[in-house]
Structure 1
């Protein structure tokens, strides 16, 4: 089985397609038989099996509300209906008197209630679905990051002891998860996950795919404060390619992630990036096979990424700092 293809479906928010692909594999070994069973019981068996990293009854009810929402949207149920149910479930847990009907207001209340219990709660949307990050421990470290047109001094907050990591972690049983994010006060790094997936601070995964990627977001928040996520991700991925000496590592990731759907900023930005790179490398605006990309010199990829980054930056500057994006 091609695990990259399987998890690409999950990252695109389509667990049903991932499960159908898994079921189509003949003569599965024990690992994939167990994986199929896990997905069946969580998403399709009618009696989901959920795990909770807390014994607190109230916390477990909050987590259950999100788990039920994740299960619905990831299996193709109507998102508005799922959000309505989420509002009802969470609203009853955030007030004894007033039932809130707005998820943003509810999550603001949840942030306060979780803080009282010793946890940090970050709500909102990891496009295109809702889903919070809830953790207990935060440590910080300062870094100096080189970007194409500037040097950034950034503070990174290392987060651990999670009890929830939004929908991507849920959709993949923890095999994939958001590595971090950028906010105006600094960068947040998920310092938790399977040991085999933890990146050393001197690794390319951390220095390029996390640190430079997220620092580029910080820079763009300042220069283009209204820029939409799909443009932000496009620019940050170009920066990764500019500085990555082993380009096929990233090209493989973007290849499998690519999806021509603007509602999914990460997959869509990968689709646009890979399409434009294919035009430069092979003269055709159609994403080419990985076998072809393996024959392309990393220095060429870095050069094309630089040119695309400069071109995009110039277009944004022409549009002015109020622009929402151009891809």
Structure 2
């Protein structure tokens, strides 16, 4: 089990989306334009077709250069006439798998087929390719977990690191080439956590969130029971607040909650981690709130989006805010205090549910 944190750092728009041989980092697209925000929000919720339609209606003239690059990438990548992805005939297993996952993501986010059919086709393709490559003893492996584990072992044999799973409702694949680790101490609103942090770099894929948004939004990392995993290229600095608060504190809160509360639903883990961000954020408060506002949903199956909606609604109610700008104009210290109170109340509610209310 792992929980992802999505950064507001917009990074790379990949050049060719018609089966490019090399999807490497090329264009820095820090698109935070108000006009582009609705398209980014729909992309993060897996509706790239609607995001593309909105961007087609949005004139590129007047947009910042980075948002023009984002707009061009989305229009090209999710063009219904795009011929799609295909690995080279002599591609290694990792390159083949990356191409196959990108084809799956593209079809899913453009709505060209039903999700269940696409998942079944993905499983069949992975099993078939592994069998064709002579990888033994796969016929009885359960999908997705056991087959993922075998696929990861094949990726590692080619000199890469990888993680596979389901993020939200989407099958995900991240592949990188280098990593280092260290122990960090993190001060949280309710505790102090000493955590192992793995710093990952040189990515071949940063997963579906990056793909769906043309890297306007990226995964900043994730938490597992054995530590925190940081996506280094998602941050300008590993000493700044964006890393220290939006990643490290967010993920350390997950780590603490795994230990204390064990079986919280994904949206609940995200809700608590996002309240931790807002309790601690200073220079990143505006970007953090912007990220929450642009990606909201009432669907608990989208844990980040659902948690964003709950955090925003509860803070606005707590602070008596009812205007178009919402929390964006609220006093920083009032947001800090309200977020801390909501987190403390949630912890008290969880404790009461476990042990019963104190007499």
TM-score (norm 1): 0.88
Give the Cα separation in 1 of the matches to 2:247 and 2:188. 13
**1:312 equivalent in alignment to 2:346:** yes
**1:262 equivalent in alignment to 2:300:** yes
Give the Cα separation in 2 of the matches to 1:113 and 1:15. 31
**1:301 equivalent in alignment to 2:342:** no
Give the Cα separation in 1 of the matches to 2:152 and 2:198. 18
One of 47, 53, 56 as aligned partner of 2:82: 47
Counterpart contact for 1:94–1:106, Cα < 8 Å: no
Distance 1:92 1:206, change over 3 A: same
Q: How many pairs does the alignment contain? A: 312
User: Larger relative CO (CA 8 A, sep 6+): 1 or 2?
Assistant: 2
Counterpart contact for 2:85–2:100, Cα < 8 Å: no
**1:92 equivalent in alignment to 2:125:** no
Counterpart contact for 2:60–2:68, Cα < 8 Å: no
Classify the secondary structure of the residue corresponding to 1:113. helix
Deviates more, 1:215-224 or 1:201-210: 201-210
1:84-135 per-position Cα deviation (integer Å, ceiling 9, x unaligned): 0100111112233654562222211101111111111211111121111111
Match of 1:81 in 2: 117
**Which residues of structure 2 form unaligned runs of 5+?**
1-32
Counterpart contact for 2:86–2:100, Cα < 8 Å: no
Match of 2:286 in 1: 248
Classify the secondary structure of the residue corresponding to 2:233. coil
**Aligned counterparts, 1:169-208, within 5 A:** 169-193=210-234, 198-208=235-245
**1:221 equivalent in alignment to 2:258:** yes
Counterpart contact for 2:70–2:214, Cα < 8 Å: no
Give the Cα separation in 2 of the matches to 1:102 and 1:307. 42
Classify the secondary structure of the residue corresponding to 1:274. helix
One of 4, 13, 17 as aligned partner of 2:46: 13
Distance 1:171 1:312, change over 3 A: same
Distance 1:10 1:187, change over 3 A: same
Match of 1:109 in 2: 150
Distance 1:140 1:11, change over 3 A: same
Counterpart contact for 2:86–2:99, Cα < 8 Å: no
Counterpart contact for 1:135–1:159, Cα < 8 Å: yes
**1:148 equivalent in alignment to 2:185:** no
Cα RMSD over matched residues? 2.4
Match of 2:58 in 1: 25
- The alpha-carbon deviation at position 177 of structure 1 amounts to 1.3
Q: Which runs of 4+ in 1 moved over 6 A?
A: none
TM-score (norm 2): 0.80
Counterpart contact for 1:137–1:159, Cα < 8 Å: yes
Match of 1:72 in 2: 107
Match of 2:23 in 1: none
- The alpha-carbon deviation at position 283 of structure 1 amounts to 5.8
Give the Cα separation in 1 of the matches to 2:332 and 2:321. 18
Match of 2:165 in 1: 124
Classify the secondary structure of the residue corresponding to 2:219. coil
- The alpha-carbon deviation at position 57 of structure 1 amounts to 3.5
